[in-house]
């Protein structure tokens, strides 16, 4: 009896959740969305996807070439600007530009998508500046853009969509990438709670491995080669050339196993912007749902065992 009751309750909950997810906002053509990191990857696809839905997309690109290429593949509604999230002056200029675009309507959506993945590697191989480079883009840049845009978002009772990662739940590599994504999670949670009184909603997107420039093979190879070349001879002897070769092998494997369907992520972003009841967190990709999320709730020693199983071993390890 209790088993049937439990199954009934689970079924009712899933039905209720499905019904909530299906409820969408209207008047998309009157809503403005500002997206960072639109030169490529998730940001580029999302800008074109929302443009096709009728949104008034304000796309921020890092380079003029990226902006021009995006405009060639979108409607006349889509507008672009150049933005370096590491520069507060650039962020302030972009904010004034957005303000001139949205007028009294305010900003419906802010998608903080800009991010980088290198330099990454064993923590011992890195410097404070290596960590800072990633934190400046992935976290502090996000904070700066959000703080500047909050008054415009408040005017429209809008949404903030922050792109994190499964590595914001479970640290699998050294360097600034995982800490930056953990910071994104913390910032987003605090922002969601303190902004609820103003009608703002904050969602976090947590993708697993997808084929974007962050895991580009040439970029990663170049990163690890440069890190290796600057290491002291003693550290090189400790790790050995075989360690570096194993890293290269794993990079090649990632290229063949990562998900190429970026729309799995951009569909989550779109839902966060169009649903009447957006979710707090979206996990994109079955690897995220079936591996990383369950693993993040298990005891640390279990996660350590499973994650380090595939780690390359230093030549002189104990």
CA 79 to chain centre: 22
Residues 32, 177, 282, 292: which is the catalytic one?
177
177 is catalytic: yes
What is the Cβ-side half-sphere exposure of residue 61, based on CA atoms within 13 angstroms?
22
Question: 128-135 vs 177-195: helix axis angle to the nearest 10?
Answer: 40
Both tokens assigned to 163: 């792109």
Q: Alpha-carbon torsion 100, 102, 104, 109, what sign?
A: negative
Residues 6+ apart with CB under 8 A from 316: 237, 238, 239, 240
Question: CB atoms < 10 A from the CB of 98, how many?
Answer: 21
Give the end-to-end CA distance of the chain in Å, rounded to a whole number: 55
Q: Scanning the structure block, which residue is given the tokens 């590595």? A: 167
d(CA 260, CA 48): 17
Question: Of all helices (H) and strands (E), which one includes residue 248?
Answer: helix 241-257
DSSP states of 280-295: SEEEESHHIIIIIHHH
Which sequence positions are flagged as catalytic? 177
């Amino acid at each position: 009896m209790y088993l049937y009751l439990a199954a009934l309750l689970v079924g009712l909950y899933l039905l209720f959740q499905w019904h909530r997810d299906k409820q969408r906002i209207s008047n998309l053509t009157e809503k403005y969305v500002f997206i960072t990191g639109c030169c490529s990857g998730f940001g580029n696809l999302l800008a074109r996807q929302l443009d096709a839905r009728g949104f008034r997309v304000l796309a921020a690109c890092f380079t003029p070439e990226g902006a021009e290429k995006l405009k060639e593949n979108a409607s006349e509604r889509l507008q672009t600007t150049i933005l370096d999230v590491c520069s507060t002056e650039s962020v302030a200029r972009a904010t004034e530009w957005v303000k001139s675009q949205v007028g009294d309507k305010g900003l419906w959506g802010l998608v903080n998508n800009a991010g980088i993945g290198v330099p990454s590697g064993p923590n011992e191989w890195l410097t404070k500046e290596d960590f800072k480079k990633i934190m400046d883009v992935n976290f502090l840049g996000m904070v700066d853009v959000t703080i500047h845009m909050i008054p415009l978002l408040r005017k429209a009772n809008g949404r903030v969509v922050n792109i994190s990662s499964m590595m914001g739940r479970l640290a699998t590599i050294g360097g600034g990438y995982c800490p930056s994504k953990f910071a994104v999670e913390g910032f987003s949670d605090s922002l969601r709670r303190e902004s609820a009184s103003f009608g703002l909603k904050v969602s976090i997107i947590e993708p697993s491995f997808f084929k974007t420039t962050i895991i580009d093979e040439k970029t990663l190879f170049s990163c690890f080669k440069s890190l290796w070349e600057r290491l002291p001879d003693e550290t090189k002897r400790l790790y050995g050339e075989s360690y570096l070769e194993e890293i290269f092998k794993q990079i090649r494997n990632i290229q063949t196993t990562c998900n190429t369907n970026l729309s799995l992520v951009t569909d989550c972003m779109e839902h966060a912007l169009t649903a009447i009841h957006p979710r707090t967190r979206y996990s994109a990709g079955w690897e995220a749902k079936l591996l990383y999320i369950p693993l993040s709730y298990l005891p640390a020693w279990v996660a350590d065992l499973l994650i380090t199983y595939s780690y390359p071993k230093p030549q002189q390890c104990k």
